[in-house]
């Protein structure tokens, strides 16, 4: 079995980044985060060190390789690799570590900074986060197989993620079967409660695609925008929402396990996704760059791009989860004022103008797992 010290000394930061997606300091930082939970209680039978356990887990997340191949890299058996992954992923996804790295801001200072940074992108005021769903492929589960088949006809976990303007993950929900509609996930999420229970300051908004229901705190694109302010709004909305597309792309390209098929149970796959999100934020906070062999990209399973230049948006997807829609035109219109007082967005000229936004559909009947 290769010694962790040998690996960390043999490779420089660029090689470590290529193989493990973190540099030496980042790897050692992760080791200290979980050392208490993954250190063997005795020295019997030559226990595997916490450093090797972390390196094995990072190698799996970085490559998505089969566990036997992963074992060959460091010289440990496949059963040992399986136990290491289970132990280390559990340790990294403990609630106090999740809260340490993924937390939706509610303080005025943090909120105002996010608003200013989003405003600088395309002049859209009041935005504090960009939300989207992304599908992570998994093997066919042994139970409730049908609810994991998404609209593209493969098994997946539909993962809701919210990014700030600097590509930090503010919130992630990685537990819903692939057939679940994005609107359903949002309706059941803590993010909705943060806004509707007024834990987030008034005048704060998320931006999301047309798969979401429009709310006072969730800005979605016009379906058929008229030339002028509505079309300008859609263009600014598209450019602002691109943050979440790029953020998902960065996370998936750093951790290739999210690009392939996760050959684990849905519960364990959910843990893998959450740990990747934690490590993504760790890399952002510690300024660990993207590996040189990967380019930044977007959310490659997104079908709800609002095609802002043309001004058209795609309607809610038809999928395996039924979505009730009112077709009689009787749904009330909701007026949402952007949270600005002065003309800070000349390109939009929308700062004091009320925009009509339709209340959208709500999904139902979906199942989740703990």
The pLDDT score that the predictor gives to residue 22 is: 97
Please give the share of the chain, as a percent, with pLDDT higher than 70: 75
> The pTM is what?
0.81
Does pLDDT of 167 surpass 80? yes
Residue 333 near residue 356, CB atoms below 8 Å: yes
Q: Above 80 in pLDDT, residue 300? A: no
Rounded mean pLDDT, 262-268: 96
**Average pLDDT value for residue range 55-79:** 82
Residue 69's pLDDT band (cuts 50, 70, 90): low
The CA distance from 238 to 243, in Å, is 9
330 pLDDT higher than 80: no
Q: 302-312 pLDDT, tens per residue? A: 555 434 333 33
pLDDT at 327 over 80: no
Helix (H) or strand (E) holding 277: helix 266-285
Lowest-pLDDT choice from 154-158, 209-213, 343-347: 343-347
Buried b (16+ CB within 10 A) or exposed e, 59-71: bbbbbbbebeebb
Closest CA to 189 of 210, 215, 166, 227: 215
Residue 123 is encoded by which pair of tokens? 């002049």
Place of tokens 């951790």: 255
What is residue 220's predicted lDDT score, i.e. its pLDDT?
97
183 phi-psi bin (left φ>0, alpha ψ -120 to 50, beta other): alpha
């Amino acid at each position: 079995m290769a010694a962790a010290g040998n690996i960390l000394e043999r490779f420089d930061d660029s090689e470590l980044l290529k193989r493990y997606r973190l540099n030496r300091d980042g790897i050692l930082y992760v080791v200290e985060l979980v050392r208490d939970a993954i250190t063997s209680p005795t020295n019997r039978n030559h226990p595997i060190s916490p450093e090797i356990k972390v390196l094995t887990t990072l190698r799996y997340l970085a490559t998505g390789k089969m566990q036997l191949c992963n074992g060959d890299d460091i010289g440990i058996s496949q059963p040992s690799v399986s136990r290491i992954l289970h132990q280390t992923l559990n340790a990294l996804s403990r609630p106090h570590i999740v809260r340490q790295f993924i937390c939706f801001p509610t303080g005025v200072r943090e909120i105002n900074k996010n608003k200013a940074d989003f405003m600088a992108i395309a002049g859209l005021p009041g935005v504090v986060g960009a939300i989207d769903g992304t599908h992570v492929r998994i093997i066919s589960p042994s139970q409730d197989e049908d609810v994991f088949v998404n609209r593209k006809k493969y098994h997946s976990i539909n993962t809701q993620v919210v990014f700030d303007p600097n590509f930090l993950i503010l919130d992630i929900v990685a537990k819903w079967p692939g057939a679940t509609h994005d609107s359903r996930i949002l309706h059941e999420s803590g993010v909705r409660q943060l806004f509707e229970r007024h834990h987030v300051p008034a005048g704060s908004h998320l931006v999301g695609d047309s798969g979401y229901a429009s709310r006072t705190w969730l800005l979605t694109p016009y379906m058929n925008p008229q030339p002028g302010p509505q079309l300008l709004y859609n263009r600014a909305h598209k450019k602002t929402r691109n943050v979440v597309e790029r953020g998902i792309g960065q996370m998936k390209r750093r951790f290739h396990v999210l690009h392939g098929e996760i050959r684990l149970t849905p519960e364990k796959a959910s843990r893998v996704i959450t740990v990747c999100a934690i490590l993504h934020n760790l890399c952002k906070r510690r300024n660990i760059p993207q590996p040189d062999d990967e380019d930044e990209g977007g959310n490659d399973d997104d079908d709800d791009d609002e095609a802002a230049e043309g001004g058209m948006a795609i309607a809610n997807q038809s999928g395996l989860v039924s979505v009730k829609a009112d077709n009689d035109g009787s749904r009330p219109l909701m007026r949402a004022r952007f949270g600005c007082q002065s003309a800070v967005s000349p390109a939009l000229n929308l700062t004091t103008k009320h925009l009509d936004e339709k209340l959208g559909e709500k999904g139902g009947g979906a199942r989740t797992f703990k």
